[in-house]
């Protein structure tokens, strides 16, 4: 199959590696000429260009640009594609993208591979990035069965675990497990930096170890990504943050009241719940 990838970065480049290794012919388009050359040299794509017209020959196109560019790029891309081309995207937020693309392109299905690293760009692309990871598809009542079947088959072939849901359900779910943790973790770092005694702050920084490393990791990462989560998933993120604040208040109350029995039982129940999210 001829498969097009628009945006040869971490996700687009990684898709290219795996699709090529399964014998697909991969056509890549990216913004910079240097990225196109590098993607070809690394073997992530068969051929690459900065000219979108290259994708006219693709049967399926994956849009893998930063979130803010997915819809604008699709608006340009459609002038190059026959109506039969199936288009999907990999954006980390789904409702606003699906809402804008559905009226523009019939053969579209939204997608989100839940895989990645903190690095970006073609050099960060990896083989087998999607193996054993969730990959969410968000069809709606207008999505053609054929488009769904084609993308589903490709996703399964990546070794990913396929999930279907509505775009809004996806955005609410990722606000809990991905976007809220970024804000909580960033707040943790900001709160620690608010320590008013410089000697204590320095001591805390010297003593910080694995617990702090785990809990601060996602808040100390790519600020652009955090900003995009807030901009594109604002409503869901706000409701998750309010749920979090409610829980934080409960902890404050229990500690203020020295209610150790209920504090213990709350901590016990969170300990029991954690394996439902991660092993
Ligand atoms: P990335 O590594 O920064 O790659 C994005 C690539 O898009 C860049 O390498 C850039 O290529 C290209 N690009 C930028 N503007 C372009 C344009 N106007 N036309 C064509 N190509 C353009 O980002 P990423 O992490 O792969 O993320 C891409 C998408 O995947 C985002 O929508 C994100 O939400 C989603 N996603 C990310 C992760 C993650 O963990 N990173 C996980 C799941 C989904 P040049 O080098 O040519 O400028």
In short, whether 188's Cβ falls inside 6 Å of ligand 1 is no
| Atom 40 of ligand 1, residue of closest alpha carbon | 116
Q: Domain of 216: which CATH number?
A: 1.10.3660.10
- Please list, residue by residue across 45-72, b when 16 or more beta carbons sit within 10 angstroms of its beta carbon and e when fewer do: bbebbeebebbbebebbbbbbebeebbe
In short, whether 11's Cβ falls inside 6 Å of ligand 1 is yes
Strands, E assignment, the chain: 2-6, 25-29, 47-49, 60-63, 86-89, 108-113, 134-138, 161-164
If phi over 0 gives left and psi between -120 and 50 gives alpha, with beta otherwise, what is residue 162? beta
If one counts the domains in the chain, the total is: 2
Among 4, 5, 7, 96, name the best residue to mutate to test ligand 1's pocket (greatest count of ligand atoms within 8 A of Cβ). 7
Contacts of 46-50 with CB under 8 Å at 24 or more apart are: 46/20, 48/8
| Atom 19 of ligand 1, residue of closest alpha carbon | 31
Query: Same domain, yes or no, for 38 and 127?
Result: yes
Q: What is the pLDDT of residue 2?
A: 98
pLDDT band of 15, cuts 50, 70, 90:
very high
Reported as a single tens digit per residue, the pLDDT across 97-111 is: 999 999 999 999 999
Q: Which two tokens stand for residue 77?
A: 């891309």
CA of 157 to the centre of ligand 1 (A): 22
Query: Same domain, yes or no, for 237 and 258?
Result: yes
Q: What is the pTM of this model?
A: 0.93
Ligand 1 atom nearest to 50, measured from its CA? 20
Structural domain for 118, as ranges: 2-165
Query: Same domain, yes or no, for 15 and 144?
Result: yes
CA of 34 to the centre of ligand 1 (A): 15
In short, whether 178's Cβ falls inside 6 Å of ligand 1 is no
Q: What is the pLDDT of residue 193?
A: 98
Query: Same domain, yes or no, for 196 and 140?
Result: no
Q: How many CA atoms lie within 13 A of 150 on its CB side?
A: 22
Q: Which two tokens stand for residue 263?
A: 């504090």
Residue 81: name the closest of 154, 2, 151, 146 by CA.
2
CA of 12 to the centre of ligand 1 (A): 7
CB atoms closer than 10 angstroms to residue 148: 17
Q: What is the pLDDT of residue 220?
A: 87
Q: What is the pLDDT of residue 154?
A: 98
- Please list, residue by residue across 111-120, b when 16 or more beta carbons sit within 10 angstroms of its beta carbon and e when fewer do: bbbbbbeeeb
- Identify the three-state secondary structure at position 5: strand
What is the overall mean pLDDT for the chain?
97
> According to the 3-state scheme, what is the secondary structure of 67-95?
HHHHHHHHHHHHHHCCCCCEEEECCCCCH
Reported as a single tens digit per residue, the pLDDT across 31-67 is: 999 999 999 999 999 999 999 999 999 999 999 999 9
Distance from C-alpha of 40 to C-alpha of 58, rounded to nearest angstrom: 17
Distances, alpha carbon 75 to alpha carbons 79, 105, 180, 193, 259, in Å: 8, 9, 31, 44, 58
Q: What is the pLDDT of residue 221?
A: 81
Domain end, chosen from 165, 200, 235, is at 165
Nearest-Å Rg of the Cα atoms of the chain is 22
Query: Same domain, yes or no, for 102 and 220?
Result: no
Domain end, chosen from 143, 165, 187, is at 165
Ligand 1 atom nearest to 29, measured from its CA? 20
Please compute the mean of the pLDDT values over residues 211-224 and round it to a whole number: 91
Q: What is the pLDDT of residue 22?
A: 96
Q: Domain of 119: which CATH number?
A: 3.40.50.720
Query: Same domain, yes or no, for 12 and 148?
Result: yes
Query: Same domain, yes or no, for 239 and 127?
Result: no
Distance from C-alpha of 97 to C-alpha of 248, rounded to nearest angstrom: 33
């Amino acid at each position: 199959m001829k498969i097009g990838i628009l945006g040869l970065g971490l996700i687009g480049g990684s898709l290219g590696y795996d699709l090529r290794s399964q014998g697909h012919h991969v056509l890549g388009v990216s913004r910079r000429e240097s990225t196109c050359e590098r993607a070809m040299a690394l073997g992530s794509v068969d051929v690459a260009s900065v000219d979108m017209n290259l994708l006219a020959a693709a049967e399926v196109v994956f849009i893998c640009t930063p979130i803010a560019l997915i819809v604008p790029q699709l608006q340009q891309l459609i002038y190059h594609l026959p109506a039969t081309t199936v288009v999907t995207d990999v954006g980390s937020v789904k409702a606003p993208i699906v809402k804008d693309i559905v009226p523009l392109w019939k053969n579209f299905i939204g997608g989100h591979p839940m895989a990645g690293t903190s690095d970006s760009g073609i050099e960060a692309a990896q083989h087998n990035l999607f193996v054993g990871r969730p990959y969410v598809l968000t069809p709606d009542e207008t999505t053609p069965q054929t488009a769904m079947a084609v993308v589903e088959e490709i996703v399964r072939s990546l070794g990913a675990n396929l999930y279907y849901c509505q775009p809004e359900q996806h955005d609410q779910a990722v606000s809990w497990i991905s976007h809220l943790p970024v804000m909580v973790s960033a707040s943790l770092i900001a709160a620690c930096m608010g320590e008013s005694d410089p000697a204590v702050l320095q001591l805390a920084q010297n003593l910080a170890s694995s617990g702090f490393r785990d809990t601060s990791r996602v808040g100390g990462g790519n600020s652009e990504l955090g900003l995009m989560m807030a901009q594109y998933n604002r409503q869901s993120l706000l409701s998750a943050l309010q749920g979090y604040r409610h829980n934080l208040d409960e902890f404050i109350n229990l500690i203020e009241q020295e209610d150790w029995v209920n504090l213990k039982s709350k901590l016990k129940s969170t300990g029991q719940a954690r394996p439902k999210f991660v092993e």
